[in-house]
Structure 1
Amino acid sequence: MKKLIMMVALVAATYGTFAQTVDLRRKVEVNGTAEKEVTPDIINVSISLKEYMDGKKKISISELEKQLEGAVSAAGIPKEDFTVNNVSGWNNATEKKKNPDFLASKQYGIRVRDLNKYNQLLSKVDPKGIQYTNITSYDYSKMPELKKELKLQALLAAKEKANYLVTALGDKLGKVLSISENDGGGSVYPQARMYSNVAMRSAVADAPESDIDFQKIKLSFQVNAVFEIQ
């Protein structure tokens, strides 16, 4: 008899636990997506200067660097946005002893917020001393705010989708039960570009308009939400 009572109690306890863990609420699960394109307003560029021979005269890195520093200052670019990235052979006494014709090079990083200023400073540097210039990366100054805005829009889109699906069945949408987010499709940035010495000579001479202003950053966010059906 005691064994029977214990078995009944065990079954009752198991059933009670099962009833507590199984969610019997009716639910609808949907995805919401939000996208937006913005024009980059922060552009990081790299410029490599290299010594060259003008006849028998060597145009030194110091001369080219002074030109670049002056151009950066004239363009109104803050000092903290102008840095030395790398030095190739600079102050390399051993190399210069081995090869008197050794030509040193030096790389600089510049952050610009107005592409016209970038074109302006390049026009004031001897194009023969520019080995190459490289657009290394792009960014958008209000990116954190934009991400929050898109995530909220994606969540509202999910709620709207869930509402019309549930309403179509004659039910009402209840409270949200869970929310999860993910990068829906990813963020698309413009391709970085590199221009050689020859291309830079042409660019400085012809001063063509750049199309970087039209190279958009595309952001896309997706939110997964589960709502209760009343």
Structure 2
Amino acid sequence: MKRLFVIALLALTTLSTFNALAQQADLRRKITVTGTAETEVTPDIIYISISLKEYLKDGNSKKKVDITTLETQLFNAVQKAGIAKENLTINNLSSWSYQTEKRKNPDFLASKQYRLKVADLNKFNLILEGVDAKGITNTYVESYDYSKIESLKKELKVKALLAAKEKAAYMVEALGDKLGNVLDIQDVGDNGGMMVPQYRNYAMKAEMSMDAGAAPEIDFKKIKLSFTVNTVFEIK
């Protein structure tokens, strides 16, 4: 008798557990969809490295174009282009030890490397036109950014969410149902983030015999941003 009582109690407990789980189970009909939004923008914050170096006119050690002259040309060109002087800084230089090196080696040529911040590469070309090309050893893009990147990310995520809702709606309505409330949203994030724009790196050296007024051509393409969200909607 005691054994039958235990069996009955276990059966009752199991049934109660089953009923509780059944009540907790989400029996709503759902649809899961993915939404994506993307755009392309042109970087408006570009950091460019410019390297200047003294050189000898016609190989004559007594006719040297010094680093001060080249630096003045660069500074004046930046001002003429309408760029704030704070946007031109020195990265590194060898000219601090100029006097010491000059005593050791009369043929020593000082050099400096600058970092220029621009919003438009056309201005960069204008700047280079104002500097003696033989004194420029190389130029290249260090890094880039977009000033409104954070607000753009938010905008794209909202568009991705709305795209997911639109997709879910026409799929559900095609079956004669209606789309209910959103039950879950997962931010997948960016698909690769900001893609590296393509540009050309031009090294300009004296032996290349470039014209003083010739500026390097830099092909700077747009960067692409893409965001994805996963969503779950109820089907009414």
Residues 140 and 202 from structure 1, CA distance in 2 versus in 1: closer, same or farther, beyond 3 angstroms? Answer: farther
Q: Does 1:87 align with 2:93?
A: yes
Shift of 1:110: 0.6
Checking the alignment, whether the CA contact within 8 Å between 1:90 and 1:106 is kept in structure 2 is: no
* Residue aligned with 1:193, SS: coil
Q: Does 1:151 align with 2:154?
A: no
* Residue aligned with 1:190, SS: coil
Checking the alignment, whether the CA contact within 8 Å between 2:130 and 2:213 is kept in structure 1 is: no
158-167 or 201-210, larger mean C-alpha shift: 201-210
Quote the residue 1:190 is aligned against.
Answer: 197
* Residue aligned with 1:103, SS: coil
Amino acid at match of 1:183: D
Please point out which of 142, 146, 149 is paired with 1:136: 142
Quote the residue 1:163 is aligned against.
Answer: 169
Q: Does 1:19 align with 2:22?
A: yes
* Residue aligned with 2:202, SS: strand
Q: Does 1:46 align with 2:49?
A: yes
* Residue aligned with 1:197, SS: coil
Identical aligned residues as a percent = 58
* Residue aligned with 2:17, SS: helix
Checking the alignment, whether the CA contact within 8 Å between 1:136 and 1:193 is kept in structure 2 is: no
Checking the alignment, whether the CA contact within 8 Å between 2:46 and 2:118 is kept in structure 1 is: yes
Residues 201 and 178 from structure 1, CA distance in 2 versus in 1: closer, same or farther, beyond 3 angstroms? Answer: farther
Shift of 1:155: 0.8
Quote the residue 1:74 is aligned against.
Answer: 80
Q: Distance in 1 between matches of 2:211 and 2:134?
A: 12
56-65 or 173-182, larger mean C-alpha shift: 56-65
Q: Does 1:32 align with 2:38?
A: no
Shift of 1:222: 1.3
Shift of 1:211: 4.2
Checking the alignment, whether the CA contact within 8 Å between 1:133 and 1:196 is kept in structure 2 is: yes
Checking the alignment, whether the CA contact within 8 Å between 1:90 and 1:105 is kept in structure 2 is: no
Shift of 1:186: 3.9
* Residue aligned with 1:187, SS: coil
* Residue aligned with 2:33, SS: strand
Shift of 1:168: 1.3
Shift of 1:221: 1.3
Residues 161 and 27 from structure 1, CA distance in 2 versus in 1: closer, same or farther, beyond 3 angstroms? Answer: same
27-36 or 131-140, larger mean C-alpha shift: 131-140
Amino acid at match of 1:194: N
Residues 99 and 3 from structure 1, CA distance in 2 versus in 1: closer, same or farther, beyond 3 angstroms? Answer: farther
Q: Which runs of 5+ in 1 are unaligned?
A: none
Structure 2 matches for 1:205-216, cutoff 5 A? 205-206=213-214, 211-212=219-220, 215-216=221-222
Structure showing greater Rg? 2
Residues 186 and 116 from structure 1, CA distance in 2 versus in 1: closer, same or farther, beyond 3 angstroms? Answer: closer
* Residue aligned with 1:107, SS: strand
Q: Distance in 2 between matches of 1:177 and 1:221?
A: 20
Quote the residue 1:118 is aligned against.
Answer: 124
Checking the alignment, whether the CA contact within 8 Å between 2:134 and 2:212 is kept in structure 1 is: no
Shift of 1:21: 5.1
Number of residue-to-residue matches in the alignment: 228
Q: Distance in 1 between matches of 2:17 and 2:127?
A: 77
Q: Distance in 1 between matches of 2:125 and 2:167?
A: 47
